[in-house]
Structure 1
Amino acid sequence: MAHTDAGGLTLRAMRYAPTLFTDGSDQPDAPDPRDWLAGIIEGSDDAIISKDLDGVIRSWNGGATRLFGYTPEEAVGRPVTMLIPEDRLDEEPRILAGIRAGERFEHFETVRRRKDGTLVDISLTISPIRNRHGAIVGASKIARDITERRMAQEQQQLLLGEMHHRVKNLFALATAIVSFSVRSARDPAEAPQIIQARLAALARAHDITMTAWRDDGREKSATDLQSLLQIILEPYQSADRIVVSGDNPPVGPRALTNLALLLHELATNAAKYGALSTPVGFLNLQIVVAADVVRLLWREQGGPVAETRGAAGFGSRLEQGLAVALGARVTRDWQATGLAITIEAPAEKLAS
């Protein structure tokens, strides 16, 4: 691998001790240590680049070509700012000033631009390069692609956020179930049994919605829409305050997770803020299958005054997931009598 020399800024300008062999002799035909170093640099998976104090690229290894897309012929001699997005150009003067002062930058996470214009998250380690007299003449940069690590971190944060949301909801729902179970009990002595039964039903509904969080290789089972609604809404059932009527289309294993999560979220919101949060509120659900489309009409009545609010946070992501997975559409109508929601999905995809 050829490296460009400029004012002592080159791997070949570095001084090494002679190679000493086991018999104590120096062998003039032995490989030059600089060749060993050049081979290590060229074979590295990381991008290894050197630049002078003007920010001009002086060497470029194979890892840099794989990461950024430029060949050595395209990169050497050009300013390193060709790799820096416009909104991060202020980083280069600060880095060069630090290098001139002998500073080393370790695991500096930033963003760089490839030849095709796409951006890549990288971790940079930048060290001063000195000539044989000890003067700083440039810098070496080792860049590592951290895109997958960043994506994994973001996914982990998303899962932790959603889990936090679900745990808070479960505590709120448990409180709500205890409250309206005590109010609806004819005899205070029967309240503990009612509460226990409803909490057990809540656990069953929660188990269905947790299929999205499991990765244990188990096959998901199919069901039908009315059975799914019954399981999810059973914890809130009291004196026929929830009515489900109409058709009963199948719900396949692939559609089950997204639909169960969304229905669970709607039931949670109804119990916390809507018709199921009051003793006199009730919920009417009607299922209609027509022209190969399943339409679920969710109607709340008798609850607090309907308040116009968008699908917040987790609920919004659930609706987006349902739209992507099933080609479904969710619409809301805040009527004077209560919230009305319509969920529409192709029957074929719902059964998949």
Structure 2
Amino acid sequence: MAEAIYTTDAEGRITYYNRAAAELWGACPEIGKAEFCGSWKLYHPDGTPLPHNECPMAIALSERRAVRGMTAIAERPDGTQVPFLAAPTPIFDASGVLIGAVNMLMDLTEYRARDEAARRYAAIVEHSDDAIVAKDLKGIITAWNRGAERLFGYTAAEAIGKPVTMLIPADRPDEEPSILARIRLGERVEHYETTRQRKDGTHVEISLTVSPVKDERGRVIGASKIARDITERRRAEEQRRLLLREMDHRVKNMLALAGSVVSASARSETTVKGLSSAVSARLVALAQAHSLVLNPAMEGSDRGKTGTTLHALIKMILAPYREGENIPVSGADIPMGRHVISDLALLLHEFATNAAKYGALSTAGGRISIAVVEQGADIVLTWVERGGPVVKPRRKEGFGTLLVKTAISGQLGGRASYDWQRDGLTITMSIPKERLQSRS
């Protein structure tokens, strides 16, 4: 037999053992002398020494009963240890006298290895940052780890036994049947990006991998799902696309502005030398303003550490377009926190760019006036263009409009309105004073 079997007399002396028993013990005990068990040393499952006269066979003989379910560890002479399950049974003669016992030992090495692997995998699954869920072929949830609790908001008790469709938004009714159909065919669904619904009703973007679960015969009996929250990745991708759009927008604007600088300078200069000097000075000023716009972090620069005032910022951004008194700045001048300088610089740069391309700064004699007024807890900045071409509201929302909305309502926490009059555009921005002066 493949199992280890041996017998003893009534005193526990070994009277027989098969080859499997010798292999398990790693030794061949002497018949009639070795007692209770043929192993060199014995240990309890917790690793403490187990005397031979207290082993399962000794108990079966002393208590004259079969012993079941007891495990121990046999140590071979070479030091290797073998966990085993013992099943000793006492033997009686026809008159009921105890004459010995027979014991069968089952080597648990493979079972222990499988059990340890199973516990290890279970620990990995339970403590994974990803949501790991199992379901049967009817779509009923059968397992739910802590990652799933964190991602979806349901506890294991709330989720197990419920249909997995409770996680699927109402506008995606065909997803689960399609996935189950592929799983029944033994297929794997990898890196499927979709949306799921949390317990509180909010949606979360996830990357989903679904694998078939098979029984020992290879039949598909269910599926395991690994869901990873990709909200941050999606947000980063959107930010990257926004930055690329901004870069494209800024490059085109700079080329257009360079042309506007040349055209504006040509209107007021009568010599080549004067034109060259004016164009050069304005391009240098434009570059300085542009460097401010393209430095959103600010903390690493001296300007970001010392801050600036609102008037100084306005004048710096508009320096390339100034021709005498064509851009007066009036009203309250307040110090600005370093973290809002780049946001407001972007807005002013956008307004000036549009004015040079389409508005008051695109023609000779055009003017812009900027007034800053304190109204309670807000700072109201009014940008007024006059003397330019007839302006018309834009029907299509471009990147500049999106930038204005994002910067004012988002980073600056304010409001903006546009008044498209025939004689020019008026922009009114209202920003909390506390936000403008914040140092963090």
Q: Identify the TM-score tier after normalising by the shorter chain.
A: 0.7 to 0.9
Give me the whole-angstrom Cα distance separating, in 2, the residues matched to 1:290 and 1:75.
54
Please name the residue that 1:138 is paired with: 222
- TM-aligned CA deviation for residue 91 of structure 1: 0.6
- TM-aligned CA deviation for residue 319 of structure 1: 4.4
- TM-aligned CA deviation for residue 94 of structure 1: 0.8
- Choose which of 245, 250, 255 in structure 2 pairs with 1:166: 250
Per-residue CA deviations over 1:43-90 (Å, capped at 9, x if unaligned) read 331222222222122223333333323333332222211221111221
TM-score, normalised via structure 1 length: 0.82
Give me the whole-angstrom Cα distance separating, in 1, the residues matched to 2:367 and 2:299.
37
- Is the alpha carbon distance of 1:24 and 1:139 closer, same or farther for their aligned partners in structure 2, counting shifts above 3 Å? farther
Q: Secondary structure at the match of 1:211?
A: coil
Query: Structure 2 stretches of 5 or more lacking a match?
Result: 1-77, 84-106
- Is the alpha carbon distance of 1:261 and 1:78 closer, same or farther for their aligned partners in structure 2, counting shifts above 3 Å? same
Aligned residue pair count: 331
1:132 is matched by which residue type in structure 2? E
- Choose which of 30, 37, 41 in structure 1 pairs with 2:122: 41
Please name the residue that 1:250 is paired with: 335
Please name the residue that 2:427 is paired with: 341
Q: Does 1:317 align with 2:317?
A: no
- Is the alpha carbon distance of 1:341 and 1:124 closer, same or farther for their aligned partners in structure 2, counting shifts above 3 Å? closer
Please name the residue that 1:59 is paired with: 143
Per-residue CA deviations over 1:272-318 (Å, capped at 9, x if unaligned) read 11010112322223344465654433221221102123774334433
- More deviation, 317-326/69-78: 317-326
Please name the residue that 1:273 is paired with: 358
Give me the whole-angstrom Cα distance separating, in 2, the residues matched to 1:210 and 1:244.
23
Please name the residue that 2:307 is paired with: 222
- TM-aligned CA deviation for residue 346 of structure 1: 4.7
- TM-aligned CA deviation for residue 271 of structure 1: 0.5
Please name the residue that 1:176 is paired with: 260
Q: Would the aligned equivalents of 1:60 and 1:75 in 2 still touch at CA under 8 Å?
A: yes
Alignment of 1:1-352 (within 5 A): 28-30=107-109, 31-44=112-125, 45=128, 46-213=130-297, 216=300, 219-289=304-374, 294-309=379-394, 312-347=398-433, 349-352=435-438
- Is the alpha carbon distance of 1:290 and 1:182 closer, same or farther for their aligned partners in structure 2, counting shifts above 3 Å? same
- More deviation, 129-138/35-44: 35-44
Q: Would the aligned equivalents of 2:299 and 2:338 in 1 still touch at CA under 8 Å?
A: no
- Is the alpha carbon distance of 1:123 and 1:347 closer, same or farther for their aligned partners in structure 2, counting shifts above 3 Å? closer
Q: Would the aligned equivalents of 1:59 and 1:76 in 2 still touch at CA under 8 Å?
A: yes
1:186 is matched by which residue type in structure 2? T
Percent same amino acid among aligned pairs? Answer: 48
Higher relative CO (CA 8 A, sep ≥ 6), structure 1 or 2? 1
- Is the alpha carbon distance of 1:41 and 1:122 closer, same or farther for their aligned partners in structure 2, counting shifts above 3 Å? farther
Please name the residue that 2:98 is paired with: none
Give me the whole-angstrom Cα distance separating, in 1, the residues matched to 2:299 and 2:331.
34
Please name the residue that 2:28 is paired with: none
Give me the whole-angstrom Cα distance separating, in 2, the residues matched to 1:205 and 1:257.
11
Q: Secondary structure at the match of 2:241?
A: helix
Give me the whole-angstrom Cα distance separating, in 2, the residues matched to 1:242 and 1:234.
9
- TM-aligned CA deviation for residue 195 of structure 1: 1.3
- Is the alpha carbon distance of 1:284 and 1:49 closer, same or farther for their aligned partners in structure 2, counting shifts above 3 Å? closer
Give me the whole-angstrom Cα distance separating, in 2, the residues matched to 1:193 and 1:134.
83
- More deviation, 321-330/77-86: 321-330
Q: Secondary structure at the match of 1:55?
A: coil
- Is the alpha carbon distance of 1:293 and 1:54 closer, same or farther for their aligned partners in structure 2, counting shifts above 3 Å? closer
Q: Which has the larger radius of gyration?
A: 2
- TM-aligned CA deviation for residue 267 of structure 1: 0.7
- TM-aligned CA deviation for residue 156 of structure 1: 2.1
TM-score, normalised via structure 2 length: 0.67
Give me the whole-angstrom Cα distance separating, in 1, the residues matched to 2:308 and 2:417.
24
- TM-aligned CA deviation for residue 132 of structure 1: 2.0
- Is the alpha carbon distance of 1:253 and 1:121 closer, same or farther for their aligned partners in structure 2, counting shifts above 3 Å? same
- Is the alpha carbon distance of 1:78 and 1:38 closer, same or farther for their aligned partners in structure 2, counting shifts above 3 Å? farther
Give me the whole-angstrom Cα distance separating, in 2, the residues matched to 1:350 and 1:245.
18
RMSD, aligned CA = 2.8
